[in-house]
Amino acid sequence: MLFLLSSSSTSPLLSLCRKIPLKTLTTKTLSHLHSTMSINLKTHAFAGNPLRSTTPKPESLFSPSSAFETLKSRLLENALLPSSPIFKVLPFRKGRPLATSTRPTGDSPPIWHLGWFNLGDFKGFLANSEFQLTENSLVYLGSRSEDDVVYWGIDVSEDSSLVPQFGAKHFCFVELRTLMVATDWTDEQAMSDLAIAGHARALLEWHNISRFCGHCGEKTVPMEAGRRKQCSNALCKKRIYPRVDPVVIMLVIDRENDRALLSRQSRFVPRMWSCLAGFIEVSILVGFRIVSSLLEILVK
């Protein structure tokens, strides 16, 4: 069986919140990891987002369009606002989600949590910054109607004044892979949070690299609570949807010698290894389909 050796004698994530360069902290964090964690994942670490991002009823309070209208009202600070649903915001900075950690009693390793804030609390942070919060700043991540919550992501990379504010509350921006290594992979709640953070990062990154229309070159604007973008040129109005890049990851096993083939890149943090993985060329996908079709014909 394959094992990852990880974990720590000191608080990994709390140490990340100290005033030490993140790269150093990441290295330090991982070098302190010393518990043993079996790899027994049913899905990819960042897959399995439990939030629902679609709803068949647009009039539902939790649908993207309805939640977006409520969001705009709340940003205008109207006095008479419905208390439901609750809005939670997860800030990101340079692709890193905000996180914090708590240490259970005894010698148990610390547990990290994503830095979710209620919309009102988040606006309090922004009051002491130069960040201009608009309805277009937030992207809809999904909802949990059973919890009466709609979740939003926001990229605050352009405002560094928020970092010390969050730091004072023991929050810091942490690389997703660091969170992945610090997560107990048998903890379903933690794995769900990891999947939400992965989804949010991908969506925010797509917004960041899709600022201009590939057809006419005009600026794009977010639509449908950030679930898609559209060209601002009235003569173009091209619709742009988040990219889905086909990727593959595999574990090569030497059964006779009970070994597995792993690899690492120079940018990896110490002791981090990976299965073989990469993007799939479209031509290869087409090739797979052709081969599959031929095999089906031959079998028949």
32/228 with CB nearer Zn ion: 228
SS3 of 114, please?
strand
Shortest Å distance, C-beta 258 to Zn ion: 56
87/206 with CB nearer Zn ion: 206
Shortest Å distance, C-beta 155 to Zn ion: 23
Stretch that binds Zn ion, among 11-19, 195-203, 236-244, 277-285 (CB under 5 A): 236-244
Shortest Å distance, C-beta 216 to Zn ion: 3
Strand partners, 247: 279
Of 32, 228, 233, 269, the one binding Zn ion by CB under 5 A? 233
216/290 with CB nearer Zn ion: 216
Interatomic CA distance for residues 274 and 231, integer angstroms: 39
CA angle (74, 152, 67) in 5-degree steps = 50
CB 126 within 8 A of CB 133: yes
Q: Work out the number of other CB atoms within 10 angstroms of the CB of residue 237.
A: 13
216/261 with CB nearer Zn ion: 216
Of 86, 180, 236, 260, the one binding Zn ion by CB under 5 A? 236
Contacts of 28 (CB under 8 A, 6+ apart): 15, 20
Shortest Å distance, C-beta 244 to Zn ion: 21
Interatomic CA distance for residues 124 and 3, integer angstroms: 44
69/224 with CB nearer Zn ion: 224
63/220 with CB nearer Zn ion: 220
89/213 with CB nearer Zn ion: 213
Site for Zn ion in 155-194 (CB under 5 A): none
3-state DSSP helix/strand/coil % of the chain, to nearest 5? 35, 25, 40
Shortest Å distance, C-beta 239 to Zn ion: 10
Interatomic CA distance for residues 9 and 29, integer angstroms: 10
Site for Zn ion in 237-266 (CB under 5 A): 238
CB 165 within 8 A of CB 188: no
Applying CB under 5 A, the site for Zn ion has a residue count of 8
Residue 238 CB-density burial (10 A; 0-12 exposed, 13-18 middle, 19+ buried): middle
**64: number of CA atoms within 13 Å, CB side?**
19
Stretch that binds Zn ion, among 4-12, 108-116, 152-160, 234-242 (CB under 5 A): 234-242
In whole angstroms, what separates CA 231 from the centre of its chain?
26
Shortest Å distance, C-beta 214 to Zn ion: 8
Interatomic CA distance for residues 140 and 150, integer angstroms: 8
Site for Zn ion in 114-143 (CB under 5 A): none
Contact status: 231 vs Zn ion (CB under 5 A): yes
Shortest Å distance, C-beta 207 to Zn ion: 16
Interface pattern 189-228 for Zn ion (x via CB under 5 A) = ------------------------x-xx-x----------
- Written as six digits, the tokens of 186 are 């048998």
In whole angstroms, what separates CA 5 from the centre of its chain?
24
In whole angstroms, what separates CA 34 from the centre of its chain?
26
Shortest Å distance, C-beta 136 to Zn ion: 18
Q: Which residues bind Zn ion (CB under 5 A)?
A: 213, 215-216, 218, 231, 233, 236, 238
